[in-house]
Structure 1
Amino acid sequence: MERENFHIEPGAPMFNKGYSIIIDTKGPYFVYGKPTLRQEFIVPNAEGEAWEYKTGITYKVDHEPMVLCRCGHSQTKPFCDGSHTQIDWDPTLSADRKPLLDNVEISEGEELQLLDNKTYCVHARFCMAKGTVWHLVEQSNRPEAQELTIRETFHCPSGRLKLRDKKKDEFLEPRLEPSLSLIEDPQKNCSGPIWVKGGIPMEDSECTPYEIRNRVTLCRCGNSHNKPYCDGSHMRTQFSDGQPGLTS
């Protein structure tokens, strides 16, 4: 992968050639560089609001590439077992390649600006706590509201929500090491997307690149209408990867 082929989202970390993901147009994700792969559970607070992540299993992967299921039917999830060749599913990579910031709605605060691209919503719900991030940003001149605005935005795994510091004219992003997480959502009794962190570059098997982003969520239930990205379909279909810890 050559750097000049990729558009880098503002605020994303510098391109790291040590990692890459190639998305088979008819099959799985091929992951190179041996990034850490772990479970992360969405955990609610006392009020029942999605509030933090709790780490589960960390998978030991010695071989390269790491091949992850995209169709949702593998019997060895999260890894591919070839089931995509035996089932009726739509592997079409239908998402456009436009920069995420090309299609955002903007909410203004005195100090912070919230940019929201709803196309990438995965229903993780961190943005709904404490009066919702859209209301909080309007009060971001108050320290408590600003802290909550940043917290809720940074917990959005897909990067649908982004913050710009208006005084410094720069985007704010959490510092994330290149890694992959399997999001599990016990509160909704379903397994969520693959959370790709830290600016790992992606392209399809025809060498067409996607924008490099700090936070990306990839479909692993096979039902998204915005592949390779998650669109929240795992909640509608109650997708479960069968891994330990989901059912309380």
Structure 2
Amino acid sequence: MKIQVSKHGPYIVTGGVPLMVMEISYDDGGDCRSWKKVREYPLQERYALCRCGRSRNKPFCDGTHAKVRFDGTETAGNEPYLQSPTIISGPELELIDYEGLCVHARFCMRAGGIWNLTERSSIPEARNTAIEEACNCPSGRLVLRDRKTGETIEPFLDKSIVVVEDPVRDEHGPLWVRGGIPVESAEGGTYTIRNRITLCRCGRSWNKPFCDGSHVGQ
């Protein structure tokens, strides 16, 4: 399984990667709480996903990128935001915050925010909530490490691609790539393989091919 970024064109997905649509669900207090699968597409060995944001057959490419002369130049480079994350140490948890990966999914805001919860992680409820929030972060901006064992706390995710939707805020989010699927640039290099990444599908990101939250408010 892999995802190939084509030059000024779509993402070419090969290897029979499952594709589905999931919505962000909110609790009664108005906080993002969980994910709800609303659609699963028939499994295909190969397909092309729109990254210009203009296709009339979303999430699939319909060739509109060529008509609108989409500039899909990849600007992520060597992913510098992965080299110097902010580290917050609490009594039981350590939070690794790759701020440049934020896609504004907002799971991290509940109960005072994951940063505050990490600092109070000796309290079981705060620790459990922090872990839940970090694991729901689709881009992997927020990663927790257990300070006692030194192990990173990561959710188990089957290899798949999720089209993120937030109907409450009327926002069409990124492509959530799960389970460590390799993403290759148009130039042939492979980006850092991670359990959770998010790819831009609105065409506006300044960190292509990754989402930078530019879809918010559009």
Q: TM-score range by the shorter chain?
A: over 0.9
Equivalent residue for 1:214, pick from 174, 180, 195? 195
By how many angstroms is 1:223 displaced?
A: 0.5
Query: Structure 1 residues 39-48 or 82-91, which shifts more?
Result: 82-91
Contact 2:17 2:43 in 1 (8 A): no
3-state secondary structure, aligned to 2:37: strand
RMSD: 1.2
For residues 98 and 223 of structure 1, do their structure 2 counterparts lie closer, same or farther at Cα, with a shift above 3 Å needed?
closer
Structure 1 SS opposite 2:130: helix
1:173: which partner in 2? 154
Q: CA deviation at 1:100?
A: 5.3
- The equivalent position to 1:56 in structure 2, one of 19, 38, 47, is 38
- Partners of 2:137 and 2:23 in 1: CA distance: 13
Aligned to 1:192: 173
1:154 is matched with 135
Match of 2:5 in 1: 23
* Corresponding position of 1:119: 100
Moved beyond 3 Å, runs of 4+:
98-101
Contact 2:135 2:155 in 1 (8 A): yes
Structural mapping, 1:79-90, within 5 Å: 79-90=60-71
Instruction: Find the residue that maps to 2:216 and give its secondary structure.
Output: helix
TM-score, length-normalised on structure 2? Answer: 0.97
Give the C-alpha shift of residue 42 in structure 1: 0.4
Deviation of 1:67 after TM superposition, in Å, equals 0.5
Q: Deviations over 1:142-200 (max 9, x none)?
A: 11111001000000000001111111112111000100100001121021000000000
Shift of 1:96: 2.5
Contact 2:199–2:209 (8 Å) recurs in 1: yes
User: Larger relative contact order (C-alpha < 8 A, sep ≥ 6)?
Assistant: 1
- Tell me how many residue pairs correspond in the alignment: 218
Identify the residue that residue 69 of structure 1 maps to in structure 2: 50
- Matched-pair contact (CA < 8 Å) for 1:113–1:137: yes
User: Match for residue 141 of structure 1?
Assistant: 122
Corresponding position: 1:204 with 2:218: no
Quote the Cα distance in structure 2 between the aligned partners of 1:222 and 1:27: 10
Instruction: Report if aligned partners of 1:99, 1:211 keep a CA contact under 8 Å in 2.
Output: no
Per-residue CA deviation, residues 40-79 of structure 1 (Å, 9 max, x unaligned), is 10011000001111111111143x3210001011111110
Please say if residues 217 and 229 of structure 1, whose CA atoms lie closer than 8 Å, have aligned partners that are also in contact.
yes
Q: Deviation string for 1:2-47 (max 9, x for gaps)? A: xxxxxxxxxxxxxxxxx11110121100111111111110011000
Check if 1:32 corresponds to 2:22.
Answer: no
Q: Does the CA-based 8 Å contact 1:158-1:195 persist in structure 2?
A: yes
Distance 2:24 2:53 in 1: 20
Report SS of the residue matched to 1:144: helix
Measure the CA separation in 2 of the matches of 1:221 and 1:236.
12
Gaps of 5+ in 2: none
One-letter code aligned to 1:124: A
Contact 1:112 1:137 in 2 (8 A): yes
